[in-house]
Amino acid sequence: MSVIHVPRPSKNAMNPNRPVNALLLAQVEHLQHAERRLPLRYRTDIYTHAIKTEGEAAAYIREVTEAIHKAHEDASARRSKLTRRPKGLAIAAASDEPSRKPRFKAKKKNSAAKRRKK
């Protein structure tokens, strides 16, 4: 099998003033769909159809990603506040005298046979 050499990206690979390509526009569209599922307080006010450069796309992607992370952090914090955990051991009932009941009930094997005899 031959080794395929992949060159390192150059330092100017990301040009914020370059027109946005189809891949970035597809990512923006997917993130816009995800953003619509967020509560209103986490949504951005960026009009995605006005994104024309890589820098604008990067800024939108960054804001939406941070908003999604913030929404999940807040939701998990609310869930942890709602769950109550008992402090220490909780005993349902206690008695000074031990119970004298047998641990296991003996099975009645011949109960059906006794009924037939009667």
List per-residue pLDDT tens for the chain, 118 residues long. 899 998 888 877 788 999 999 999 999 999 999 999 999 999 999 999 999 999 999 999 999 999 999 999 999 988 887 766 666 666 666 666 666 666 666 666 666 666 666 5
Q: Which residue has the tokens 């390509």?
A: 21
Residue 25, CA distances (Å) to 66, 75, 87, 111 in order: 19, 29, 52, 80
Residue 16 resides in a domain: no
Residue 41 neighbours by CB distance under 10 Å? 9
What is the number of structural domains in the chain?
1
Residue 117 resides in a domain: no
Residue 77 resides in a domain: yes
Residue 60 resides in a domain: yes
Whether this model's pTM surpasses 0.85:
no
Task: Enumerate the β-bridge partners of residue 19.
Answer: 53
Residue 104 resides in a domain: no
Residue 56, CA distances (Å) to 25, 47, 86 in order: 11, 11, 50
Domain of residue 44, residue span: 22-82
Could you give the 3-state DSSP secondary structure of residue 19?
strand
